[in-house]
Amino acid sequence: MSEKQLEDMIVAASEILHDQWMLIGRQVDTGFGGRIDLLAIAPDGALILIELKRNKTPREVVAQAIDYATFIEGLESDRIAKIYDDFAPGHNLADDFKARFGQALDEETLNESHQIVVVAAAIDASTARIVRYLNERDIAINILCFQVFANGDEQLLSRAWLIDPAETQTNATVTPAREKEPWNGEVYASFGHDEKGRLWSEARQYGFISAGGGTWYSNSLNLLNPGDRIWVKAPGHGFVGVGRVKGKAVAASEFKLPSSAGEKAALEVLKGHYSNSGEADPDRAEYFVPVDWLETVPLEQAVQEVGMFGNQNTVCKPKTPKWRFTVDRLKQKFPNYNK
């Protein structure tokens, strides 16, 4: 399969790239002699620059992608809207974003961060080495390898990431280079409370955090390890608790909770509406992480102050003074954080 054919296939079915990315541009002119193969947007407004390797050398493809990233970094909302209009004439980016992700596009957070994805037919050692080096230094870059296999008259497409996409997703968390500092060891977690969906009261009662509805939301749970201390924020409310992780993330069908009839699968016990598509589509299933709460508060007592850190990633490990400031303040508000 040629990379032109692969590009056409991605445009026709963008979910083969990622189930929570929305394509917004193709062959985007950078204005300095280059064209970005594909441009996508994530639920938090982050942009994803997608570059096909074609026949370029490892140094060429990585250097070109980083060069194009300098163009992406400076894009304002009106220019992004124009790129989408060229890609989907007659469509409106804000309207289509809301239809795709179920939430309004916030111009304040649009393109606050970005990541680079190199798409290739094979991962050579040199490119892998360069990309790993950059990613370990918080440059959000990854390689997605596609291979085609024949099965009779059918063509089967396999997909493999060089690096767990949850890592590059969270590396793209907004931390300008001038503001970076060593990670303070404290983990940020977002719990998407919704009166018609996940319930913070149940997470408090049973000891867990969860995410689902797409790998963009659930994959970052895999960054958590037993013993990690997490500071949990309910978007739209504020910080609601601090706890220690007790185990790795597991699918809802494997997560057990106590009931009057003994232990049962989580979704048989909980009253909230959690993603329940594990059998039909594991990528959209709900995943749970057990937590030993050190201190929590109900939503109406959530802690939110000017200057506190916030992010739509379910889990991240921020390296910014804003996160250090936030944790220092939260330790005052949750004095049992270290019990």
Please state the pTM of the whole predicted model.
0.76
Residue 9, CB-side half-sphere exposure with 13 Å CA sphere: 16
CA angle, 251 as apex, 216 and 229 as ends, to 5°? 70
What is the C-alpha separation between 31 and 37, in angstroms, rounded? 14
Task: Kindly state the tokens that stand for 24.
Answer: 């917004």
* Chain centroid to CA 337: 27
Nearest Cα residue to 251 out of 275, 270, 230: 275
User: Measuring CA to CA, which residue among 190, 54, 67 is closest to residue 118?
Assistant: 54
Smallest CA-to-CA distance from 3 within 148, 202, 158 is with 148
Distance CA 106, CA 328 (A): 28
Return d(Cα 191, Cα 221) in angstroms, integer. Answer: 11
Those residues whose C-beta lies under 8 Å from the C-beta of residue 54, and which sit 6 or more positions away, are: 3, 61
pLDDT tens, per residue, the chain with 339 residues? 566 777 887 888 788 888 889 999 999 999 888 899 999 999 989 999 999 887 777 678 888 999 999 999 889 999 999 999 999 999 999 999 999 988 888 887 888 889 999 988 777 888 889 999 998 888 899 998 887 676 777 766 777 888 888 888 887 765 555 567 889 999 999 999 988 889 999 999 999 999 998 888 899 999 999 999 999 999 989 999 999 999 999 999 899 998 888 889 898 999 998 887 555 678 888 999 999 999 999 999 999 998 899 888 899 998 889 999 999 999 999 999 998
Place of tokens 């969860």: 210
How far apart are the C-alpha atoms of 178 and 63, rounded to whole Å? 22
